[in-house]
Amino acid sequence: MRMVDLIEKKRDGSELTKEEINFIIEGYTSGSIPDYQMSSFLMSVFFRGMTAEETANMTMAMVHSGDQIDLSAIDGVKVDKHSTGGVGDTTTIVLAPLVAAVGVPVAKLSGRGLGHTGGTVDKFESIPGFRSEIEADQFINQVNEVKVAVTGPTGNLTPADKKIYGLRDVTATVNSIPLMASSIMSKKIASGSDAIVLDVKVGAGAFMKDVDSAKKLAYAMVEIGKNVSRDTMAVISDMDQPLGLAIGNVLEVKEAIATLRGEGPKDLEELCLTLGSKMVVLAKHAKTVEEARKMLEEVIANGKALEKFKEFVIAQGGDASVIDDPLKLAAAKYEIPVLAKGDGYVAKIEADSIGTAAMILGAGRATKDSVVDLAVGLMLHKKIGDEVKKGDTIVTIYSNRENVDDVMERIYESYSFSLTKVAEPVLVHAEIH
Ligand code: URA
Ligand code: CA
């Protein structure tokens, strides 16, 4: 087989076989296919697309390029949730104990990663004593006993995706449905999930800017799941503004605790119930999402979800007393209000830009060597549709430095106001099964 022939075949719009796709992925991962040929191939895919079968084959070829996590020693169906990237997305911290509280096993492999705030691992580590670097056998035992465990990056998962993503980033080929879908699904499958719930974000702050493209991406991933025997469901959720109110590690942990008590922001609670009920159904602990949702609402109301969070924190070596007394968590030195400059209604909050404001405070990583300041971040007091009077606090900045002019300027740039009433945005645009 010659790479040049396969590029030509895709360029002219033909379908590649499984063997041909394996040849490309193996060759590129090992280095026998150079960047210039792979770039040309990716651009051909960008324009020609891929069939559902090609996309599934591409996904599995990437899964096989590296290690696969074996979770077969865990009882039950292992369901994972993936979000295509939000700002201050607290859902994972809520969902892990929430669905575990109804008996669904949650084996969470999470990274630190780059971004506006730390990864899930950083967020949990803002609980004093919490250890996320746990051994594989402890991880497995803990999921069997407590139903939930989290561990940091393990093994060499999907090296093909890492290398291809790096190349896509500099060849204008990120935004291709088959390439995105196979990239995301390969990572979930390699980390051992039997079933997957996808939270596809749509809006100004997301990869997908409109509902139609988000749906296409979601369908492509659900289709991959079908083709490779991993039950997959997707939710298209809004990212025209940040979800919830907290952006920052400790702040998000506090927000998650409040949500597990039933006292969290309504949009965050709603999305957690929507995603969580799909996880419960896929794990076969309920027949319908309606039944699953009732189970989740019940464990929030009767305190079992919060209890599960404590049990989980203790199992990972953390100080669970912070859950009853969140004031024990690290606090920032300064709390600086950002005041409205006039009267009106919030019309828009650029999620991406407000996330960057949190990052420059130190809440997230700009490069992989940046150190995350767990205590800092932003609390939003006004969201789309809220009425604002001149002098109201729209955001509080939690900072460890006194001068936050740069952050404040970004926050003002992120908010737009209208003189007339603005409707609250739709949170869940579509659900795809
Ligand atoms: N996220 C991924 O992991 N891969 C993509 O291609 C796009 C978003
Ligand atoms: Ca949040």
How far away, in angstroms, is 261 Cα from ligand 1 center? 33
The answer to whether 100 and 308 have CB atoms below 8 angstroms apart is yes
Ligand (nearest to CA of 115):
1
The beta strand positions in 130-230, using DSSP E, are 148-151, 195-202
Of the listed ranges 15-29, 34-48, 342-356, 361-375, the one predicted with least confidence: 361-375
Residue 158: CB within 6 Å of ligand 1? no
> What does pTM read for this prediction?
0.94
What is the arithmetic mean of pLDDT over 387-409?
Answer: 97
- The pLDDT assigned to 313 comes to 98
**Token output for 261:** 């008590």
Tens digits of per-residue pLDDT, 98-112? Answer: 999 999 999 998 877
Say if strands 195-202 and 231-238 run parallel, antiparallel, or are unpaired. Answer: parallel
- The pLDDT assigned to 207 comes to 84
How far away, in angstroms, is 414 Cα from ligand 1 center? 25
- Cross-strand pairs, 432: 234
Quick one: pLDDT band at residue 26, thresholds 50, 70, 90?
Answer: very high
**Which atom number of ligand 1 is nearest to the Cα of residue 168?**
6
Round to whole Å and give the CA distance between 35 and 218.
Answer: 29
Residue 183: CB within 6 Å of ligand 1? yes
**Token output for 161:** 């995706």
Beta-carbon contacts of 423 under 8 Å, excluding residues fewer than 6 positions away, are 385
Active site (catalytic) residues: 82, 161, 168, 183, 187
Q: CB neighbours (10 Å) of residue 216? A: 16
Q: CB neighbours (10 Å) of residue 5? A: 10
3-state helix, strand, coil in the chain (%, to 5): 45, 15, 40
pLDDT tops 90 at residue 116:
no
**Which atom number of ligand 1 is nearest to the Cα of residue 184?**
3
How far away, in angstroms, is 174 Cα from ligand 1 center? 8
Tens digits of per-residue pLDDT, 335-357? Answer: 999 999 999 999 999 998 999 99
- The pLDDT assigned to 201 comes to 94
Q: Exposed, middle or buried by CB within 10 Å (0-12, 13-18, 19+), for 2? A: exposed
Ligand (nearest to CA of 89):
2
Place of tokens 């001149």: 390
- The pLDDT assigned to 88 comes to 72
How far away, in angstroms, is 308 Cα from ligand 1 center? 31
